[in-house]
Chains A and B, each alone.
Chain A
Amino acid sequence: MRVKVLSRNPDDYVRETKLDLQRVPRNYDPVLHPFEVPREYTRAMNATKLERLFAKPFLSSLDGHRDGVNCMAKHPKSLSTVLSGACDGEVKIWNLAKRQCIRTIQAHEGFVRGMCARFCGTSFFTVGDDKTVKQWKMESPEYGEEEEPIHTILGKTVYTGIDHHWKEAVFATCGHQVDIWDEQRTSPMCSLTWGFDSISSVKFNPIETYLLGSCASDRNIVLYDMRKSTPLKKVILNMRTNTLCWNPMEAFIFTAANEDYNLYTFDMRYLESPVMVHMDHVSAVLDVDYSPTGKEFVSASFDKSVRIFPVDKGHSREVYHTKRMQHVITVKWTSDNKYILCGSDEMNIRLWKANASEKLGVLAPREKAAMNYNQKLKEKFQYHPKIRRIAQHRHLPKSIFGQIKEQRIMREARRRKELNRRKHSKPGSVPFVSERKKHIVAVVK
């Protein structure tokens, strides 16, 4: 007779020390683990629910300004420093880690219209309603020193925006024209004009640094080349563009925030139609900033909300709002891709998480693995209706919700009217115009 006995070698399952991980022998035979799709579906559903459960994006509010926050600038070298300018001419420098204001400067009389930091982070520039451009030291003045700008340039007209070159000691201002300045001189190196109108914003391309983009109040977006000191091309949209922002990872892509509630992402080589129209806001979009990874951007709107759009999607993936936040005038995405800052009318700067349900702080490796797995599951099952419903559900304030509904009705009516017109007119006389082309009036060479 043979007796079969279970025999196990303790070396296979006993840990050497109690700090070791338990060895778990696994059998991956699919027969032993049935129902993989339903099980993963359940997991995905749970992950989605948990994501919504943990979505608490609002971190803190930085208050201290005595008027609406009109502009902000990131420090190029320090993540914890951010600068903000208010409508009363006050500039504040904030420490985000402590959530404190570390310095306050009365920089201008009237609005601080624009500000930017020098690429090395040693100084910053502000322009204001008092027709001046001022350069300030980033460090607070030493003991006994007075708080005053390093340089002050007095211009002839009001400057409405400023941006610094990404590599050289050159900056550009806009107002009635785009001026390019050497830091050492009090008169511009060159002035770029194409028609006369007030230009609201000018931005240097972060990759091909000689390129500039500007948007003016006569509804156009103009591109410039600094090397030739000439404008390149102009595209006229249906309505005025408030700001534009270049993609920091894709040299020829920029996004424009328009008054017609939409954002337009352009490829500068093909300006005839935008690459993508981003719709979701229900009021004028006032500011836009790209995430440093170039995959997403954040927009601030007059409808008291901040939205995050993927670059390649027409609709936003996230909307942030609070009861107290009024018209959001300026928005910035921090350079570590983690946070979003928005400055609004009611004098506060708000700090949000860029990923609403992200856990802050250090993650254990297992936590990280679980997080990645959940993320992939959500991605995999994103088209399933129940999961999509949960993932896309956002609470909106009544005003925005009502507006969205109203606009949906209006859009539907317009569509119906066009359909009817097409039906009752000669075939071909009412052409189909794609959504992308609809908003472009002309491209001027």
Chain B
Amino acid sequence: MAEEWLGMEAAVSASEGEDEGQEDGERRHQQLLQAVSDLSGRKRRKLAERTEASVQVSEFNVSCKGTGEKLVLSELLQPIRPKSTLSSVKKELTRVKQKKAVELPLSKEEAKRVVREAAYVRTSKDVGKWQQVVLQNRRAEQLVFPLKQEIATVVPLEQVVSAWKARTPLEQEIFGLLHKTQQPVTDPLLTPEETASLQAMSLEEARQRRAELQKARVVQSYYEAKARREKKIKSKKYHRVLKKSKRRKALKEFELLHKSDPEAALARLEELEQLRMQERMSLKHQNKGKWARSKAIMAKYDLEARKAMQEQLAKNKELMQKVQVELPEDEPGDVPEEDLTSVTIPVGARGANPWMLGKPSGPVEEPEVQEGLGDIAVPDAAETEEEMSEEEALLQDFAQKRNVRQQRAGSPEGPGADETEAVSELPGDSPIHPICAEEEQASMRLKQPPQAQEDILLSEQLRRVQSMEDVDALASEEHVEEQEKPMAARSEKPMATRAKKQVQQQEEGRAGNGCAKKPPAKKKIISLQAVLAGKPQEVQCPSLPMVMEDEEGGSDQRGVITEAFAGDDVVADFRREKRKAEQATKPQPVNLVLPGWGEWGGTGLKPSTKKTKRFMLKPPPAPPRKDQHLPHVIMSEKRNIHAAAHQVSELPFPFERHQQFEQSIQTPLGPTWNTQRAFQKLTAPRVVTRAGHIIQPISAEDVPNTATEAGSGAKPALEIVPKRQEQPLRHPHRKAR
């Protein structure tokens, strides 16, 4: 209102300025009224104003007030031209002449029809923009529904709860309780206390804390980056140096600690021990993990892996080492004894357990044995030592026995009694001894040969003869051995020296038979083994190995086959079969002869030839066979009715040629004939839907191209169709898949 007043005053003052001095007060008053009326907005009807003509027109003075132009004197001097009044009428007349009669308005029905037609054309055009999409979807190999894959969104609990109100008495009661205890109801995340505590934290503090956190995070990230960088360094030397420096540092620290605070150092030691125990318990270095196994496989080829493997093994060994438990000194009673026993037992068992023997007991006999070995290479392994010690033990036994016997021989008892005694005595001795006890004992003699033979047989199978010469040698050796056997049975010698003997015998045999061509290396190996085994080892094969050459077998394949199928003549068989088939397909004459008609009938009576001739119907000859000129082919022209029932009789609809159809049938789909991937592709279903998903009708957003183009307006949507035809679309739903 105030503004209006101001405006009005301004208008008043303006009017004052304009016609200052010319108008009188009445006019002013009029203008004021005008301004006021303008304010009201509505146009007020102007009251007719009467003015006196004398003001404008006077006989003395010509004034041009009211007209916009200036009056020029020349105009006044010109004659007045007569102006025809008919011109306007003329114009009217011409206009009337030009105008035609207005057509009658369309009937209501027709008008509506026009509108409908126009609307129909437009709508069908609008709808036609879906044409391409529809065609594509119809042709699509696979459609996945719903077209728009929605992402499930979880509505926050507060939103759900806020809309909900307690209505039943039970609910109200529960809510009353909750309210009483100030439990959160609508916003279940924070209790009032929590919110209060949250509020208690001032902005400054929060900022400070945030800055701190930020800094810490930055530092952490720096360190992480650094560590990553260092970890990436491939140089081994660098890592070695690093490790070493670390170790040194740790040691130094520990020493310092030891000096400054021995207790803490002890604690640290214990801690280390604890760590070690944990490591031991963790079964980490058991070589059973995936890594270890993979390394074990790789170790053969990869040096690195081998190294890692060795490290791992070393670690394992280290961990597995028994920790020396330092026993406290207050209980020395039992332990030393145990120690003693543990030490003494091996001494006692030395004879029985060859693994416990450290050195040969009798150094005196060694040279003799070596002498006995003759030209054999000097055995260096521990095994030989053990065997030697065994032999020595045996020798010692023999010596003892001999002494005993000599003592007994001094006694008046006869040799028979002696023998029986010896036999009875034998089982009491160590099990090895009786075998080679005494040459004089007959029972002993009877026992020995079978065992020896067994040994020979066993050892025989261990060697393989590799050349023809060897085979020859073997044969001869066998022969020699056969000769030897009785001799061995006859010659009574101790077991201990038998090996040596056999070697000698072999040498003799070789010399005797004149098989000097044998390579000396072979000889050496054989003799060495014989010695090392400690048992009689004859390098002889009982049977001759079959010798076959590969090439022969390969080249003779055809020959073998011909040989194998020598008996049957396939070609003739086939020819016979074909003849049979031909016979079978030939039309057979139909016999319509009825015996007994027109003549005598009965058993043993044949219808007359005249009759048979008359009633035998000869069918027309069959058309020529298709395989007439194909000697190796039988073509059956019989149609299989049983198969026909399963066959398609006419070309089904979508196919245009029978080849197409046959092709479609002959392409197998199954996994037996196709790879997994191809199988999946071939059997992909046409329509895929997801359980529990609502499939909405298609919309412009589902079709990416139309969505963008239709979004710009209704008009361009109509222009889509030609555009699409130009560039074939991608499959619209591939994306969704």
B461 on the interface (CB 8 Å rule)? no
- Per-residue A-contact encoding for B689-732, CB less than 8 Å = 1, 0 else: 11111111111000000000000000000000000000000000
Q: Knowing A251-B130, A335-B694, A445-B120, say if A376 contacts B167 (CB, 8 Å).
A: no
- Residues of B within 8 Å of A381, CB to CB, are 665
B674 on the interface (CB 8 Å rule)? yes
- Which chain B residue shows the least CB distance to A77? B694
- Residues of B within 8 Å of A166, CB to CB, are 697
A375 on the interface (CB 8 Å rule)? yes
List 19 other contacts, CB 8 Å, given A380-B664, A384-B646: A36-B668, A36-B672, A40-B670, A143-B167, A143-B168, A207-B697, A211-B123, A228-B115, A248-B695, A250-B134, A251-B127, A251-B134, A269-B127, A292-B697, A295-B687, A336-B692, A336-B695, A385-B649, A445-B116
A249 on the interface (CB 8 Å rule)? yes
- Per-residue A-contact encoding for B659-674, CB less than 8 Å = 1, 0 else: 0010011101111111
Can you report 23 A-B residue pairs in the complex whose CB atoms are below 8 A from each other? A1-B550, A33-B673, A37-B666, A37-B668, A40-B668, A142-B165, A143-B167, A225-B123, A230-B116, A232-B116, A250-B130, A250-B137, A269-B127, A269-B128, A292-B145, A294-B137, A337-B689, A372-B684, A373-B670, A373-B671, A376-B682, A380-B665, A385-B648
- Residues of B within 8 Å of A2, CB to CB, are 550
Q: CA A383 – CA B683 in complex, angstroms?
A: 18
- Per-residue B-contact encoding for A293-309, CB less than 8 Å = 1, 0 else: 11100000000000000
Taking a contact as CB atoms under 8 Å apart, the answer to whether B167 and A375 are in contact is no
Question: In the complex, which residues 636-677 of chain B have their Cβ closer than 8 Å to any Cβ of chain A?
Answer: 645-649, 652, 661, 664-666, 668-675
Q: CA A2 – CA B548 in complex, angstroms?
A: 9
Q: CA A217 – CA B134 in complex, angstroms?
A: 31
B545 to chain A, nearest CB (A): 8
- Per-residue B-contact encoding for A101-136, CB less than 8 Å = 1, 0 else: 000000000000000000000000000000000000
- Residues of A within 8 Å of B550, CB to CB, are 1-2
Q: Knowing A142-B167, A373-B670, A380-B665, say if A79 contacts B694 (CB, 8 Å).
A: yes
Q: Number of B residues contacting the other chain (C-beta, 8 Å)?
A: 63
From the candidates B124, B683, B698, name the one contacting A269 in the complex (CB within 8 A).
B124
A431 on the interface (CB 8 Å rule)? no
Q: CA A385 – CA B646 in complex, angstroms?
A: 6
A42 to chain B, nearest CB (A): 10
Taking a contact as CB atoms under 8 Å apart, the answer to whether B691 and A336 are in contact is yes
- Residues of A within 8 Å of B645, CB to CB, are 385-386
- Residues of A within 8 Å of B699, CB to CB, are 207
A287 to chain B, nearest CB (A): 19
Taking a contact as CB atoms under 8 Å apart, the answer to whether A337 and B695 are in contact is yes
Task: Pick from B116, B548, B648 the residue with the most CB of A within 10 Å.
Answer: B116
Task: Pick from B645, B672, B697, B699 the residue with the most CB of A within 10 Å.
Answer: B697
- Residues of A within 8 Å of B123, CB to CB, are 208, 211, 223, 225, 232
Q: CA A143 – CA B684 in complex, angstroms?
A: 51
- The A interface, classified by DSSP as helix, strand, loop or mixed, is loop
Bin chain A's interface residue count.
35 or more
Taking a contact as CB atoms under 8 Å apart, the answer to whether A338 and B689 are in contact is yes
Q: CA A369 – CA B167 in complex, angstroms?
A: 52
- Per-residue A-contact encoding for B354-391, CB less than 8 Å = 1, 0 else: 00000000000000000000000000000000000000
Taking a contact as CB atoms under 8 Å apart, the answer to whether A268 and B124 are in contact is yes
Q: What residues of chain B have their CB less than 8 Å away from a CB belonging to chain A?
A: 112-113, 115-117, 119-120, 123-124, 126-128, 130-131, 134, 137-138, 143, 145, 165, 167-168, 171, 547-550, 645-649, 652, 661, 664-666, 668-675, 679-680, 682-685, 687, 689-699
- Which chain A residue shows the least CB distance to B128? A269
CB < 8 Å A-B pair total: 162
Q: What residues of chain A have their CB less than 8 Å away from a CB belonging to chain B?
A: 1-2, 28, 30, 33, 36-37, 39-41, 43, 76-77, 79, 142-144, 166, 206-208, 211, 223, 225, 228, 230-233, 248-253, 268-269, 292-295, 312, 335-338, 362, 369, 372-373, 375-377, 380-381, 383-386, 445
B364 to chain A, nearest CB (A): 51
Taking a contact as CB atoms under 8 Å apart, the answer to whether A369 and B666 are in contact is no
Taking a contact as CB atoms under 8 Å apart, the answer to whether B126 and A208 are in contact is yes
- Residues of B within 8 Å of A223, CB to CB, are 120, 123
Taking a contact as CB atoms under 8 Å apart, the answer to whether A383 and B648 are in contact is yes
Taking a contact as CB atoms under 8 Å apart, the answer to whether A375 and B127 are in contact is no
Taking a contact as CB atoms under 8 Å apart, the answer to whether B669 and A225 are in contact is no
Q: CA A253 – CA B138 in complex, angstroms?
A: 13
Q: CA A372 – CA B666 in complex, angstroms?
A: 19
- Residues of A within 8 Å of B549, CB to CB, are 1
Taking a contact as CB atoms under 8 Å apart, the answer to whether B695 and A28 are in contact is no
The 10 closest A-B CB pairs, nearest first, are A292-B695, A206-B697, A143-B167, A248-B697, A36-B668, A383-B652, A232-B120, A372-B683, A269-B124, A251-B130
- Residues of A within 8 Å of B672, CB to CB, are 33, 36, 39
Taking a contact as CB atoms under 8 Å apart, the answer to whether B548 and A1 are in contact is yes
